[in-house]
Amino acid sequence: MTALRLSEFSFTAANQRDQQGGLLGFLQIRYGDLLLDGVALRRSSTGRLVLSFPRRRTRAGAEFHYVRPVDDRARRELEAQVIQALGLERVVA
């Protein structure tokens, strides 16, 4: 399988109040032939930068992602590309 590469993106920063809670902003990402919109960039409770993918919640509380990486390796690769593109690679250890 061919690895996808981030080719372009836009970032909209969250307001200061949301940033204090860990939500840094939202991304629109061109990833291969896909346009991923509404992807959130968050700082985890351990200080790690992570991506959060759009999802919906049913009345019963079950969650369903609209789009997400197929596995942890793919998630880590996309996160690394986005963090590097944003110039934040030094923030993540």
- Compute CA 89 distance to the chain's CA centroid, rounded to the nearest angstrom: 14
Q: Is residue 93 part of a domain?
A: no
Q: What is the pLDDT of residue 33?
A: 84
Backbone angles phi, psi at 67, to 5 degrees: -155, 145
pLDDT at 54: 94
pLDDT tens per residue across span 12-28: 999 999 999 999 999 99
CATH number of the domain where residue 71 is located: 3.30.1120.40
Q: Which domain holds residue 19?
A: 6-85
Q: Does the predicted model carry a pTM greater than 0.85?
A: no
pLDDT confidence of 38, banded at 50, 70, 90? Answer: very high
